[in-house]
Amino acid sequence: MIRRTLAAALLVLLTAGCGGGSAVSDYGKVVKGAKGATVRVEVRSGQRFSLSVPENASVGDSWDLVEVPDAKVASFISEEHESDGGGPGSGGTTYFVFNGKQPGTTEIRLRDCWRCGQDKTPTTEESKQQSGEAIFAVTVVSAR
């Protein structure tokens, strides 16, 4: 009886971590950005696209969408994180996933508030210097 209970408990623990993962499996057109850079992006109406930035939370990176872009031009779907798989402390990539809507232009700004904590405000001079924005100038064109 005890062995069955232990086996059942072990099975529950082993399967508890399964099934998690990304809410989005298709990132669409992936466009890389970085702090201090402005990148031009062109997508078609109805096209999914992702804005990617390198992130390493263990050193203090914390990327956020500054504000939702013009919903007529691009709609925000989700924020996804993927590890580089190098073990504890290794970095990864954060993806901000969008869908192109009607033809037009919008600016999407992502901010890395480095070692800012919960209030998302740099508290030290080093934090202010290491924080920054990646800017994406998005143009949606008609689907052909």
Q: HEC states along 49-84?
A: EEEEEEECHHHCCCEEECCCCCCCCEEEEEEEEEEC
Evaluate whether residue 46 is within a structural domain. Answer: yes
Evaluate whether residue 43 is within a structural domain. Answer: yes
Please tell me the distance from the alpha carbon of residue 106 to that of residue 74, in angstroms, as a whole number. Answer: 8
> What's the rounded mean pLDDT across residues 19-46?
87
Task: Reply yes or no on whether the pLDDT at 71 is more than 70.
Answer: yes
Q: What is the CATH number for 131?
A: 2.60.40.2020
Task: Reply yes or no on whether the pLDDT at 6 is more than 90.
Answer: no
Task: Reply yes or no on whether the pLDDT at 113 is more than 50.
Answer: yes
Evaluate whether residue 108 is within a structural domain. Answer: yes
Evaluate whether residue 3 is within a structural domain. Answer: no
Evaluate whether residue 84 is within a structural domain. Answer: yes
Evaluate whether residue 49 is within a structural domain. Answer: yes
Evaluate whether residue 130 is within a structural domain. Answer: yes
In this prediction, residue 122 carries a pLDDT of: 82
Mean confidence (pLDDT) of the chain? 84
Range(s) of the domain holding residue 70: 26-141
> What's the rounded mean pLDDT across residues 119-134?
85
